[in-house]
Amino acid sequence: MAELFQFELVSPERQLLSEQVAEVVVPSTEGEFGVLKDHSPFMATIKPGILKVLNEGGRWDEYFVRGGFADVASGGLTVLAEQAVLVKDISSEELDQQIKDAEEDVSDAKDDETKQRAEMTLSQLRDVAEALKAA
């Protein structure tokens, strides 16, 4: 088993996880990356996707995260997510509503920059919906 490190998963509502883990795979805007103990420090922006956590017992837990930041430091990894939900707790209705809201954001956009951001979020949410269907 890999060496363990401290992992914190925090959303605006609450702290979802604070425990020793073996590995975390984070969906970032630069691509997916894995973190193991003693990873070199850096920060990354999170995109909507599936965050995977390999816990002490060797089991993978999956969380849907929507935006935020990952901070890899000497003490471990902290993920500050705009939203984080255990994948098994996600209702397809909830995800469908987020996609519908994102579609409205695209059509309501008043300038190109806002529209591009909204289109990117919509695209990422649709990717998540596909990933969840495949899981």
Residue ending a domain, among 67, 87, 107, is 87
Three-state SS at 104 = helix
pLDDT tens over the chain, length 135 residues = 579 999 999 998 899 999 999 999 999 999 999 999 999 999 999 988 899 999 988 999 999 888 899 999 988 999 999 988 888 887 788 888 888 999 999 999 999 999 998 898 888 788 778 777 765
Residue ending a domain, among 87, 103, 123, is 87
Q: Are residues 97 and 67 in the same domain?
A: no
DSSP-derived secondary structure for 1-26? -PPPEEEEEE-SS-EEEEEEEEEEEE
Cβ within 8 Å of residue 77, ≥6 positions away: 5, 6, 7, 8, 24, 26, 35, 39, 70, 71
Q: Are residues 67 and 130 in the same domain?
A: no
pTM of the shown model: 0.76
Q: Are residues 29 and 81 in the same domain?
A: yes
Helix then strand then coil, in percent of the chain rounded to 5, is 30, 45, 25
Per-residue confidence (pLDDT) for residue 134, from 0 to 100: 64
Burial 84-120, CB ≥16 within 10 A → b, else e: bbebeebeeeebeebbeebeebbeeeeeeeeeeebee
Structural domain of 122: 91-134
Per-residue confidence (pLDDT) for residue 3, from 0 to 100: 92
Q: Are residues 97 and 80 in the same domain?
A: no
Task: Write out the two tokens for 88.
Answer: 């098994």
Q: Are residues 33 and 65 in the same domain?
A: yes
Residue ending a domain, among 87, 108, 124, is 87
What domain count does the chain have? 2
Q: Are residues 52 and 79 in the same domain?
A: yes
CATH code of the domain containing 70: 2.60.15.10
Per-residue confidence (pLDDT) for residue 1, from 0 to 100: 56
Instruction: For residue 130, list its beta bridge partners.
Output: none
